[in-house]
Amino acid sequence: MKPDSLERWQVQQSADLYAIRTWGSGFFDVNAAGEVVVKLQNGSSTVDVSLMEVVAGIKERGLSMPVLLRFRDILDRTVARLNESFGEAIAATGYKGVYRGVYPIKVNQQQQVVEEIATFGRRYHHGLEAGSKAELLVALAFISDPESYVVCNGYKDAEFIDLALSGLKMGVQTLIVLEMPSELDLVLERAQKMGVRPRIGVRLKLSSRVSGKWSESSGDRSVFGLTMGETIRTVDVLREKGMLDCLQMVHYHLGSQIPNIGSIRAAVTEATRVYIDLAKEGAAMGILDIGGGLAVDYDGSHTNFPASRNYDVKEYCADVVETVMAGCDKAGLTHPTIISESGRFLTSYSSVLIFNVLEVGRVDEEPEVQIGADAPELLKNLAEILRAVNPKTLQECYNDAMFHRDEIRTAFVQGNLSLRHRSQGENLFWRIQMKVAKESQGLKYVPDEVKDLGDALADIYYGNFSLFQSLPDSWAVGQLFPIMPIHRLDQCPNRLGTFSDITCDCDGKIDRFIDLHDVRKTLPLHEVKDGEDYLMGVFLVGAYQETLGDLHNLFGDTNIVSVRVDADGRIDYTNEIKGDSVADVLGYVEYDPKDLVAMVRDRAERAVRENKISPAERRAIVEAYAAGINGYTYFESHEPDPAAGTASNGAGSAAPKEN
């Protein structure tokens, strides 16, 4: 990037730089005005909606950043993509069975999401997967289509099993998956009591191992599922009781985000073999459930890198259908109904987190210091090194600077250097490193340590969000999400930065970013302009992020707004969910906000009696405290709103000031 480039920076260059057209999967793009757009449908046409326009509308409605945007329309389209891709594979191969998806509720349990999938998915008989009693209660309420399935996974007690059996009684195709050998007796006992014949599946421990972040779900020693021995014993018990007709399904789950199509194919092959032999043993069968794992291409590289996948949804469906078909044809068996439990693929694209940048920390903003003749030797040496930096001395100057910085720290700790001199020394140290980095630009050979300097010198952009609340997988498992500015994309981003959130935790940072080849440590960003918001979007966050988040530093849920376009192409804001207030999050940790206000009121009253404050001051203090208790947990700016540069009409004469 040449900041001084005379050519105008083209929007296309931003699109390439942030790779939005690869990971965006046709849902996100950049418009001519340099803003990120989401492509929403009204009827059969697609409308480009600028995220800046959406944000301006949200602010006019009185909500502040950060905000989570949900696009139901995208959810509908991923549900359609999955079902239609299976449909095409079935038609193309002449497969005789059908495909039935079930959405695993744990991936995003929000009512809006489950309801949308159940409602829109009905045309495909898309069902739900429950891994707990609570999720099964949700599933039974939302699934009424007799052709959809409800699959019950997870540890089951008698109540869980009874619920599943009552689903069956009501005419919902509820399948109970045995995760543990011990569950069989309980299922048979409850079924007899309730007078229904259960529909049973077995979860297999396959020997196929997969690479990827969540691969522990697979392999012989995975915690879930039955071994081959336990599977055969299940058959024997059922045969003895004359209930082999109840064993109808083979199920497995390799883990989420499987990057490699080879692993997927190996597992389907193995599971199909088990399916065939269970049928030969006399079990009724009829259903093969291949679990989740269909991956999302977070970095757009289309490789078997953990943040990507080396296949697409069509290839996935074709491979599954062909493999099952080949196995069954060879064994002379009818083709089973194929169930898959994709969650990540369905929900990732439909949520975007938007946050504003509050401040930027830069190492190059320190003023130049003059080293006088009477300065300590250490400082004079550093000043000398600074003068000596040139393309031939890079490594040497770098080494000397590192050495002297340590010397300075030691001298300071031992009381031989003043705080003022230490600060001057550190200032010189950073200026040397910046000069080394600058001189190294464009050189053919750059020493490794010097190469890494650029990352160490990067700016820190302080973002108004909590990593722990909104992007827990980024912290917990190092997951990469595409992040980019949602405006100013017609301008060259001439800074390199990393992000820090507003929790005061040093883990609350983002310093790994998607890249087509590897992982980058800094992201190209724009200089923040005074009095103007700089807004970032974190994309593909619809899966797993919303309820894993925690209340670190008591930052609560963000505001959530669902966005769609109406028949006239106008933006329609629905299902606005206000984020947690401070009172809400305090309540989660057992405080009573009313008590807190009363305690502060008492304290202020005492201060009045002691003549420390006036009654009017008491009132102002108590009002401000109460306003804080009822406010948003994130940083709120009450300044006039700068959604500048967008089609908004100035926006935000903001909330009335409390004090």
Ligand X SMILES: *Cc1c(COP(=O)(O)O)cnc(C)c1O
Residues 6 or more apart whose Cβ sits within 8 Å of residue 369: 424, 427, 428
Cis peptide bond upstream of 524, omega within 30 = no
Is 351 a binder of ligand X (CB under 6 A)?
no
Select 66 or 291, whichever has its Cβ closest to ligand X.
Answer: 291
> DSSP code of 622?
H
Is 341 a binder of ligand X (CB under 6 A)?
yes
Select 152 or 600, whichever has its Cβ closest to ligand X.
Answer: 152
The number of residues that bind ligand X (CB under 6 A) is: 19
Is 472 a binder of ligand X (CB under 6 A)?
no
Select 161 or 210, whichever has its Cβ closest to ligand X.
Answer: 210
How many other CB atoms are there within 10 angstroms of residue 639's CB atom? 10
Residues 6 or more apart whose Cβ sits within 8 Å of residue 459: 360, 361, 362, 363, 495, 496, 497, 498, 525
Please state the closest distance from residue 3 (CB atom) to ligand X, in A.
41
Of 298, 388, 264, residue with least CA distance to 28: 298
Select 410 or 547, whichever has its Cβ closest to ligand X.
Answer: 547
- Here the tokens at position 307 are 């943040």
Contacting range for ligand X; rule: CB under 6 A; set: 249-257, 425-433, 588-596, 613-621: 249-257
**Polymer length in residues for the chain:** 659
Select 153 or 648, whichever has its Cβ closest to ligand X.
Answer: 153
Please state the closest distance from residue 175 (CB atom) to ligand X, in A.
12
Is 256 a binder of ligand X (CB under 6 A)?
yes
Contacting range for ligand X; rule: CB under 6 A; set: 54-62, 113-121, 338-346, 648-656: 338-346
352 three-state secondary structure: strand
Is 104 a binder of ligand X (CB under 6 A)?
yes
Instruction: For the sheet with 28-30, list strands across it.
Output: 28-30, 36-42, 45-50
**For residues 201 and 150, is the Cβ–Cβ distance under 8 A?**
no
Residues 6 or more apart whose Cβ sits within 8 Å of residue 181: 226, 230, 233, 234
**For residues 153 and 127, is the Cβ–Cβ distance under 8 A?**
no
Is 509 a binder of ligand X (CB under 6 A)?
no
Select 154 or 593, whichever has its Cβ closest to ligand X.
Answer: 154
Please state the closest distance from residue 356 (CB atom) to ligand X, in A.
30
**For residues 163 and 183, is the Cβ–Cβ distance under 8 A?**
no
Please state the closest distance from residue 69 (CB atom) to ligand X, in A.
21
Please state the closest distance from residue 341 (CB atom) to ligand X, in A.
4
Contacting range for ligand X; rule: CB under 6 A; set: 87-95, 100-108, 116-124, 462-470: 100-108
Contacting range for ligand X; rule: CB under 6 A; set: 115-123, 340-348, 359-367, 447-455: 340-348
Contacting range for ligand X; rule: CB under 6 A; set: 8-16, 251-259, 387-395, 458-466: 251-259
Strands 287-289 and 247-251: parallel
Please state the closest distance from residue 155 (CB atom) to ligand X, in A.
12
Is 292 a binder of ligand X (CB under 6 A)?
yes
One-letter identity of residue 154:
G
Summary count for the chain: helices (H), strands (E): 22, 23
**For residues 249 and 288, is the Cβ–Cβ distance under 8 A?**
yes
Among 121, 343, 556, 652, binds ligand X (CB under 6 A): 343
Is 422 a binder of ligand X (CB under 6 A)?
no
Among 81, 253, 405, 509, binds ligand X (CB under 6 A): 253
Of 536, 400, 393, 403, residue with least CA distance to 464: 536
Among 148, 342, 424, 545, binds ligand X (CB under 6 A): 342
Residues 6 or more apart whose Cβ sits within 8 Å of residue 439: 389, 390, 391, 394
Contacting range for ligand X; rule: CB under 6 A; set: 69-77, 194-202, 287-295, 583-591: 287-295
Of 407, 433, 412, 431, residue with least CA distance to 422: 412
Select 493 or 549, whichever has its Cβ closest to ligand X.
Answer: 549
Residues 513-552 contacting ligand X, CB under 6 A: 543
Specify the DSSP element, H or E, that contains 409: helix 394-413
Contacting range for ligand X; rule: CB under 6 A; set: 46-54, 62-70, 342-350, 457-465: 342-350
Select 222 or 581, whichever has its Cβ closest to ligand X.
Answer: 222
- Here the tokens at position 299 are 């970095």
Which residue's C-beta sits nearest to ligand X?
292
Among 267, 294, 313, 604, binds ligand X (CB under 6 A): 294
Contacting range for ligand X; rule: CB under 6 A; set: 193-201, 250-258, 317-325, 408-416: 250-258
Is 263 a binder of ligand X (CB under 6 A)?
no
DSSP states of 287-351: EEE--S-----SSS--SSSTTS-SS-HHHHHHHHHHHHHHHHHHHT-PPPEEEE---HHHHGGGE
Q: Give dist(CA 122, CA 481) in Å, integer.
A: 30
Residues 110-139 contacting ligand X, CB under 6 A: 129, 131
- Here the tokens at position 147 are 């052709």
Select 172 or 294, whichever has its Cβ closest to ligand X.
Answer: 294
Please state the closest distance from residue 102 (CB atom) to ligand X, in A.
8
Is 293 a binder of ligand X (CB under 6 A)?
yes
Q: Give dist(CA 483, CA 497) in Å, integer.
A: 12
Is 344 a binder of ligand X (CB under 6 A)?
yes
CA 187 to each of CA 105, 209, 330, 444, 501: distance values in angstroms, whole numbers, following the listed order? 23, 30, 34, 70, 48
Contacting range for ligand X; rule: CB under 6 A; set: 74-82, 99-107, 158-166, 500-508: 99-107
Q: Give dist(CA 437, CA 550) in Å, integer.
A: 39
Please state the closest distance from residue 529 (CB atom) to ligand X, in A.
40
Specify the DSSP element, H or E, that contains 90: helix 72-93
519 three-state secondary structure: strand
Select 251 or 404, whichever has its Cβ closest to ligand X.
Answer: 251
Among 121, 167, 291, 642, binds ligand X (CB under 6 A): 291
Contacting range for ligand X; rule: CB under 6 A; set: 290-298, 386-394, 422-430, 630-638: 290-298
Using CB under 6 A, list all residues that contact ligand X: 104, 106-107, 129, 131, 153, 253, 256-257, 291-294, 341-345, 543
